[in-house]
Chains A and B, each alone.
Chain A
Amino acid sequence: MGTVEEYTEPSADSRLERSANHVWQNRQAYLLIAPAAIFLLSVVGWPIFETFRLSLYRSPADSALETYVGFQHYVEILNDDFFLQLLWQTGRWVVVGVAGKTLLGLLIAVHLKGDIRGRKFFRTAFLIPWGIPYAISAVVFRWIEHPQYGYLNAILIKLGVIDQGIGILGNPELAWLGVVVADIWIGTPFMAIIFLAGLQSIPQELYEAAAIDGAEKWHQFRYITIPQLKSVILIATLLSTIWTFVSFDTIWTMTGGGPINTSATLVIWIYQVGLKNGNLGEGAAYSVIGFLFLLVFAVVYLRIYTRGGEKL
């Protein structure tokens, strides 16, 4: 026994010594990242830990009244029919939103790609909806969709589509569509800019060669643009999926998740339950479920980002 200890201890010591040496030699490097690392640990890491902890407690906003309940919140959520409805509403919100942003963004990018006079003007103009407060975009869309005074109803009446104003945001069937339109409007510029940058990196010779071979515009798009743009589209739609999934300001300002919770998504529900109703514990349990979704997105993103063993 003694010999084994004699054998292992110096080795552990020297390993410790080696890493102490490494830290000492690189002390400047560690000192420079320390503030950022400590900051992120306390402002992001700690809340993550707190969320997990809180999800095991029944805790009203006053934390002195916490009682440990184990996994009770999770059991209740998973047995609640509303949870399924919430997942369905979140799913359609993300799918329709991301599809709208991708298609509209692609359409804009393809038309901005060529030798356009005033491209800088167009690009700046298309960028603006992305760069202004979501809450402001949301109130403007609320105004456009206003049942009595809104521009949308005025236009539809003028075109003879309807003869009386409809209240989109107050209608349980239509409200989420009224909000998703605003969200698409906000998210499209990012997609357009990313796709434009991607398009501009496609070698022009590919198109020239195809044109000589007599390829139609549509075929060029289908067989050159789309394959060349594949990785850009992949990353952009993935990022857009994450951002649409966590989109809060727009929904909260336009409908608050209503009417009768039909425009609520998972993140709206986290806020509603945890902060509006003040049930921190239950809200935290919904957050943990949200983490799981984000974790899946993050793993996919990191895999794409670091693909091919790229050096960091």
Chain B
Amino acid sequence: MTMAGQRRSRLRKVRLYGVLIALLGIMMFPFYAMLSSTFKPESEIFSSPATLFPTEPSIDAYLAVWSQTDVLLWIGNSFIISLGTVALTLLLAIPAAYSCARNEFVGKRTFLLSVLVVQMFAPVVLIVGLFDVITRFGIYNTYLAVIIPAAAFTLPFNVWMLYGYFQTIPVSLEESARIDGASQLQILTKVVLPLTKPALVASITYTFLYAWNRLLFVLTFLTDSEKYNVPRGVFSMVGALQTDWRMMLTVSVIGIIPLLILFAFLEEYIVAGMTAGAVKE
């Protein structure tokens, strides 16, 4: 490479990283606004115009938040709702996806396409009818009122994700078990599932995030504040007559920490899940 060419490629590198860092700055700014506000003492957070850096950083908000809000309760409820949704969705999706991957039967195409349509039926458009049905089930104001709809709307992703993955597992692996007279359900749990880890992790992460993040179902089907999850708890704090911004932002920071941990470890699976429906190899 010539000297001029080298200089040009270095210049391009500098510009590339420059743009990347600028974009990252824009995308990270809300986090900065949130974090920096939580480290301001109470007097400073209500100064106008706002100070962009805390002049006297303090961790008072983090000490006070445990006693002044129900953040631990909300996080606990978020875990109950998310784990419940994951369990229910997998219980339904695994057998269905496996059945479609291994059998040819009348109605399979209809089933798979209807599942895809469900994914498009956003819950908010269905919320009036759902409200009616949830009350008829008699589960209004129980965790199930949130878990059941969340499972229904994560089921499509799970079915398609697992269906696609099961198809890549060679049938020959299952044949000896079949000759021994094992049923499909036995083959599924003993032979196939242990090989399905990547798809399972992607499915679980997607479902967990979905249930953790959504406000709609909790807002609509849970009135008991003892059962609020993190988004609902935060929402109740802005709904209050006088919003305690500092406490609310501190709760928000604490409420997303579990997610950041999830992201750090499972980023690849999350990306695999996100691209599954849109990018075909």
Contact = CB atoms under 8 A, between A and B. Distances in A.
B79 to A, nearest CB: 14
B111 A134 contact: no
Given A139-B252, A239-B278, A249 B214 contact: yes
Interface string A273-312: 0110000100110010011001001100110011000001
B75 to A, nearest CB: 12
B279 interface: yes
A242 B120 contact: yes
Given A116-B20, A151-B52, A143 B245 contact: yes
Contacts of B115: 36, 40
Contacts of A50: 128-129, 132-133
Interface stretch (B59-67, B91-99, B168-176, B194-202): B91-99
Contact of B231 (A135, A287, A306): A135
A128 B274 contact: no
A94 interface: no
A111 B23 contact: yes
A128 B260 contact: yes
Nearest to B19: A111
A150 B214 CA distance: 26
Interface in A171-190: 185, 188-190
A78 interface: no
A28 B275 contact: no
Contact of A37 (B96, B122, B149, B214): B96
B48 to A, nearest CB: 4
A224 interface: no
B235 A36 contact: no
B118 A40 contact: yes
B122 A294 contact: yes
Contacts of A306: 113
B50 A194 contact: no
Contacts of A47: 126, 129-130, 132-133
Interface in A80-123: 104, 107-108, 111-112, 114, 116, 120, 122-123
A297 B120 contact: yes
Contacts of B31: 128, 140
A33 B124 contact: no
B27 interface: yes
B19 A36 contact: no
Contacts, number: 302
Given A47-B132, A271-B127, A275-B131, A26 B105 contact: yes
B122 A267 contact: yes
B238 A26 contact: no
A218 to B, nearest CB: 13
Interface residues of B, number: 103
Given A40-B152, A111-B20, A253-B238, A48 B120 contact: no
Interface in B154-179: 155, 159
Interface residues of A, number: 105
Contacts of A39: 92, 151-152, 155
Contact of B111 (A35, A37, A155, A193): A37
B128 A51 contact: yes
B230 A35 contact: no
A232 B127 contact: no
Contact of A44 (B121, B185, B262): B121
Contacts of A143: 33-34, 37, 245, 249
A43 interface: yes
Nearest to B256: A132
A19 interface: yes
Contacts of B260: 128
Interface of A: 19, 22, 26, 28-30, 32-33, 35-37, 39-40, 42-44, 46-51, 54, 63, 104, 107-108, 111-112, 114, 116, 120, 122-129, 131-137, 139-144, 146, 148-151, 153-155, 157-158, 165, 185, 188-190, 193-194, 197-198, 201, 231-232, 235-236, 239, 242-243, 245-246, 248-249, 252-253, 267, 270-271, 274-275, 280, 283-284, 287, 290-291, 294, 297-298, 301-302, 305-306, 312
8 contacts: A32-B99, A36-B95, A36-B159, A124-B264, A128-B260, A139-B237, A139-B252, A280-B132
Interface of B: 16-17, 19-20, 23-24, 27-28, 30-31, 33-34, 37, 45-52, 91-93, 95-96, 98-100, 102-103, 105-106, 108-109, 111-118, 120-122, 124-133, 135, 148-149, 151-153, 155, 159, 183-185, 209, 212-216, 219-220, 230-232, 234-235, 237-238, 245, 248-249, 252, 255-256, 259-260, 262-264, 267, 270-271, 274-275, 277-281
Chain A to chain B: the 6 pairs with minimum beta-carbon distance, closest first: A47-B129, A246-B122, A51-B129, A32-B99, A29-B103, A135-B231
